[in-house]
Each structure stands twice: as structure tokens, then as C-alpha cells.
Amino acid sequence: MNIAFVNSTRKWGGVKTWTVDYSAELAARGHGVHVYGRQREFVDKLKGLGIPAERADFGFDYNPLAIGRFALAFRRHGIDLVVCNITKDMNTAGVAARLLRIPVIQRVGLAGDMLDHPRLAFLLKAVRPWMLCPSREVAEGVFRNLPYVPRERVKVIRNAKRPVDAIRPTGPKPLMLVSTSQVNEDKGHRFVLEALTDFEPGVFQYHVVGTGRALDGLREQYRALEERGDLVWHGFSTDVAAHLAGADVFLLPSMSEGMPNSLLEAMAAGLVPVARDVGGVKEIWPDSLAGYLMPRKAGAGEFREVLAALAAMGAAQVDELKALSLDACRIGFSLTDRVDDFEAWVGSEILS
């Protein structure tokens, strides 16, 4: 089949990572994949993987020029299925697909993105998309927010990754910590940074990958950590795997999540995960690492306690935790298995 993925968002997020993973796997299986995006880094990442991708101009809602351009592109490439993300994708590429009678999937990242409104109700009625959710928690949120959406048109396929062959053995101190979320207030970096101020220099080195609205304020407030070498700000990166490869512990202190791709990326890389119990995190979390799943209302004190326990461990103990994380990803969140599920769903229910 020929699939078009469309994403008009300006920042990198979990759905873009999911799109890159699925595009590469589907292309490797012989499917035709074409990706259209607004963000240059997103398009360049896909091109670097050999996947046909191009920048798209979306314009205003229901922009007839954008709709026409997408319709021409879909005809030219013989597109059988269009996968959108947010409303802007839907009211341009989704409308074009509907006019051509091409089925549309809306890949929902967060239930909060799907709040009932007359404009959204009209769009969903016009395009009639199938909805793909990364967790049961997100799907239930869609049903609560949009009770008129038929349940049979909503599918849950959990996010997944391709795991590494083996963990990276833990080296001497400092213990390497990493977060890869956007640096916004709701992502909770502040709790980790505050916890780190209570440790002696050289116990940890915290690598923050990403940009966001809270970056400048946090960098100024915790400049002392940076100056003593315990904090490194990397900014935006499309090569998250390289940052994970050098780390020991992955921190996800977010106060809101769907089914976090970043957590699965870290587990697939063999890192010890420490995360707050929000959204679909618990659907990923292995029982063997229950002690590292923080309460929903955890503050800096709770993160300090977990970090202190990790700092007190020997390298062999940390490596045992890493192995548990990697095994959990292999068993429950294999990318090849989840793409199998996607192909089966599309083939049996959407394109049949």
C-alpha cells in the first residue's frame, strides 16, 4: 500500500518520532511511504533515512490551495491511506483525502488535544477519520471528550521501539542522567534540577536534550549546576539515540503525558527509567522497576530520594536495572510486532 503521513506541527514531539519509526519500518517492508511536514528538521530526518519527504505549506484552516496541492500529490503517488496528526493536518490533507475517497487515520497524541467543539465536530463528520491512539488511557480520554465518536473506529496500538542488543555498562561516577522532553513547565525538569542541588558536585551529570518555553528561566535559575559541570543543556536534536547511548538513567518528571515515546526510546536503549505516574506511563512500566515509578504528585524530595538510592549503588546493580528495562521493552514493545498490528488493522478494517 501507499501511505502518506502528514504533520503540520512546528515543534518536535512524540507523534513525529512515531512517524519516523513507522515510516522507516513500513518502507523496509515494501510499502510506499510519502511524508509531508512543516518543520524542516523533521523532513530532513526522514530524507536522511531515504524516505520521500517534503515540506508543505498549510496556510489557514481549509485552505483551498493546500487542499488542492495535497489532492494532486495523493493522486500522483497513488496514495491508499493518509495519516494525520492535528486539526490543521485534518482540515487540509484530511479534506483532500476525503474528496478523493481515501481513508484517513488521525494519530492522536493526547486526549487533551481532542476537546469537543463545534468546529472539531464538523471536521470529524466531514473527514470521518479512524483514530489511532498510543494507549488505552488516551483512547478513553477521546471517548470522554468526544462521546459521538464510534468506538469501533478507534484503535489502540501502543508505541514501540527497536531495542539495542545489549546495555552499555555503567562507568565510574558521575552517573549520567538524561531527559529528552521539550523544556516546558509541564514537563517537570524543575523537580529534578531542584533535587540535584542537594548532591555534591560530580555525583551526577544531567543532560537535557530539547528546547521549550521554560528553558531560559531554568538555565538562569540553575546556572550553578551548569558551571560546576553537573548540568548540560544540549538544545534541540534529531539524534536522540546518540544522547541516550551515553546515559545511565532516563528521567521523565512530566506532569502530563500520553504514551511517551521518549520513555520507550530510553528503555529500548537500556537505561534505568525514573518517571512520574501520569497518562499512559503505567501501561509501559514493568513490575520489576516499580520502585522507580514516582507518584503523580511527586516533588523534588521524592526525586532526590530515588536519585540518592541510585547514587549509592555499585555499577553492577545499576546494570541489573538497565537489563530489566531493556528486557521489558523487548517483550512488550517491539516495533516489528506493533507494525504487524498496524498492517493487520489497516488491511482488515480500513482498506478491506
Q: Give the confidence band of 91 by pLDDT, cuts at 50, 70, 90.
A: very high
CB 326 within 8 A of CB 268: yes
pLDDT 10s digits, 6-16: 999 998 888 99
CB 246 within 8 A of CB 272: no
> Which CATH superfamily groups domain 175-332?
Glycogen Phosphorylase B; (3.40.50.2000)
What pLDDT, on the 0 to 100 scale, is given for residue 260?
A: 85
Mean pLDDT of the chain: 95
Instruction: Assess if CATH 3.20.190.10 describes domain 2-159+335-350.
Output: no
What pLDDT, on the 0 to 100 scale, is given for residue 352?
A: 87
Every domain of the chain and the residues it spans: 2-159+335-350, 175-332
What pLDDT, on the 0 to 100 scale, is given for residue 151?
A: 93
What pLDDT, on the 0 to 100 scale, is given for residue 29?
A: 98
What value does the mean pLDDT take over residues 95-114? Answer: 92
H helical segments located in 112-156: 118-127, 136-145
Instruction: Decide if pLDDT at 111 tops 80.
Output: no
3-class secondary structure, 95: helix
Instruction: Decide if pLDDT at 271 tops 80.
Output: yes
| CA dist., res. 309 & res. 302, Å (int) | 11
What are φ and ψ of residue 264, in 5° steps?
A: -65, -40
User: What predicted TM-score, i.e. pTM, was given to this entire model?
Assistant: 0.80
Instruction: Decide if pLDDT at 101 tops 80.
Output: yes
Instruction: Decide if pLDDT at 259 tops 80.
Output: no
What value does the mean pLDDT take over residues 260-265? Answer: 90
Count of C-beta atoms within a 10 Å radius of residue 159: 26
What pLDDT, on the 0 to 100 scale, is given for residue 233?
A: 98
CA angle (321 as vertex; 316, 325 as ends), nearest 5: 140
Strands (E), 75-230: 81-84, 104-107, 130-133, 154-156, 175-179, 204-209
What value does the mean pLDDT take over residues 54-70? Answer: 96
Strands (E), the chain: 2-7, 32-37, 53-55, 81-84, 104-107, 130-133, 154-156, 175-179, 204-209, 231-235, 249-252, 272-276, 293-294
- Above pLDDT 70, what percent of the chain? 100
What value does the mean pLDDT take over residues 310-331? Answer: 96
Instruction: Decide if pLDDT at 30 tops 90.
Output: yes
pLDDT 10s digits, 115-138: 888 999 999 999 999 999 998 889
Q: For the sheet with 175-179, list strands across it.
A: 231-235, 204-209, 175-179, 249-252, 272-276, 293-294
What value does the mean pLDDT take over residues 281-290? Answer: 92
What pLDDT, on the 0 to 100 scale, is given for residue 219?
A: 96
Instruction: Decide if pLDDT at 218 tops 80.
Output: yes
Instruction: Decide if pLDDT at 39 tops 90.
Output: yes
Instruction: Decide if pLDDT at 154 tops 80.
Output: yes
CB 289 within 8 A of CB 266: no
